[in-house]
């Protein structure tokens, strides 16, 4: 199966749990090989649930000058480029989310391309969100525009259930809702995004934009939100610390974990096969 590596021209890399170690650092081998492969016209890019701001710092460190996927697919943008894709939510969806969060004791925040918006009544969400976006404090959400993602935090399951149910048949509204529970079991999180603003669809958009085919692409991941991406038909790589479900869908499982520069291991393989080809 590793023979497919000779055709790879684009490597799509998840960030947390895959590219960076537990301290948020990219491995030295990865930094070196990403730039070396680019000189051979083999490109690395990113696909992450994190904000554009956070991802852009890593892209610059790795010498990535093509667009990358952020906010789990809601935004495709390069460090110096205009957005290739923005999954902007309708104003009516934003207003509905605000109203139902307030009615059901949910704490709400939302983000556009650049900022995470926080009001005085919802300031506690700064302790929860993992987007690592610049925080912009505003008096209220009146007038916010071009929202890409809404996050609502609830301390109890019943409140979260009421908020989600208030959207009715949400798929017909052109949005996607997902509920997750914190690892410490102290809150529930409802994420609201535009329909089809996910990792899989946005990587498809990016691959098409760059002019590649899926047989030219490798994807590297570790977590549940990488599962759909492994259905794209690319060369699927799960890092050693990945969840079992992802490993079962992988074409290759690294010997290294993210703390041992697993991505560097993959880039070395791609380099070797490109030289021997």
Segment 242-253 shows an average pLDDT of 97
User: Rounded distance, CA 25 to CA 226, Å?
Assistant: 20
Minimal CA–CA distance to 135: which of 115, 153, 149? Answer: 115
Assess whether pLDDT exceeds 80 at residue 267. yes
Render pLDDT for 64-109 as a digit per residue (tens, 0 to 9). Answer: 999 999 999 999 999 998 899 999 999 999 999 999 999 999 999 9
pLDDT > 80? residue 171: no
Alpha-carbon distance 242 to 263, whole Å?
A: 13
| 164 within 8 A of 58, measured Cβ to Cβ | no
For domain 91-194, the CATH architecture is 2-Layer Sandwich (3.30)
Q: What is the mean pLDDT of the chain?
A: 93
Please report the pLDDT score of residue 32 as a whole number. 98
* Residue 143 predicted with pLDDT over 90: no
Mean pLDDT value across residues 171-176: 78
Using 50, 70 and 90 to split pLDDT, how confident is the model at 277?
low
- Least confident interval from 45-49, 59-63, 153-157: 153-157
Task: Give the other-Cβ count within 10 Å of 35's Cβ.
Answer: 13
> How many Cα neighbours within 13 Å face the side chain of 94?
19
User: Where along the chain do its domains lie?
Assistant: 2-85+197-276, 91-194
Fold of 2-85+197-276: Rossmann fold (3.40.50)
- How long a stretch of residues is the chain? 277
- The pLDDT value recorded for residue 89 is 96
Rounded CA-CA distance 22/56 in Å is 19
């Amino acid at each position: 199966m590793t023979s497919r590596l000779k055709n790879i021209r684009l490597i799509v890399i998840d960030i947390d749990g895959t590219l960076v170690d537990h301290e948020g650092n990219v491995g030295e081998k990865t930094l070196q090989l990403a730039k070396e492969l680019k000189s051979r016209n083999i490109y690395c890019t990113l696909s992450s649930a994190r904000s554009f701001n956070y991802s852009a710092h890593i892209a610059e460190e790795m010498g990535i000058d093509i667009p990358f996927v952020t906010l789990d697919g809601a935004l495709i943008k390069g460090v110096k480029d205009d957005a290739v894709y923005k999954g902007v939510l309708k104003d009516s969806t934003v207003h509905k989310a605000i109203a139902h969060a307030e009615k059901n004791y949910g704490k709400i925040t939302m983000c556009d391309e650049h900022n995470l918006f926080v009001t005085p009544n919802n300031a506690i969400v700064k302790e929860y969100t993992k987007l690592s976006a610049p925080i912009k404090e505003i008096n209220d959400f009146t007038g916010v525009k071009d929202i890409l993602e809404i996050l609502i935090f609830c301390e109890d399951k019943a409140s979260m259930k009421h908020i989600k149910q208030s959207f009715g048949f949400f798929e017909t509204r052109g949005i996607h809702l997902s509920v997750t529970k914190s690892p410490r079991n102290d809150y529930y999180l409802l994420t609201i995004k535009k329909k089809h603003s996910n990792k899989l669809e946005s990587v498809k958009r990016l691959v098409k934009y760059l002019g590649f085919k899926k047989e030219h692409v490798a994807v590297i991941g570790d977590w549940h939100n990488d599962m759909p991406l492994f259905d794209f038909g690319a060369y699927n790589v799960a890092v050693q610390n990945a969840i079992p479900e992802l490993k079962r869908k992988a074409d290759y499982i690294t010997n290294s974990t993210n703390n041992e520069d697993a991505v560097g291991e993959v880039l070395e393989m791609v380099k070797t096969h490109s030289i021997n080809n």
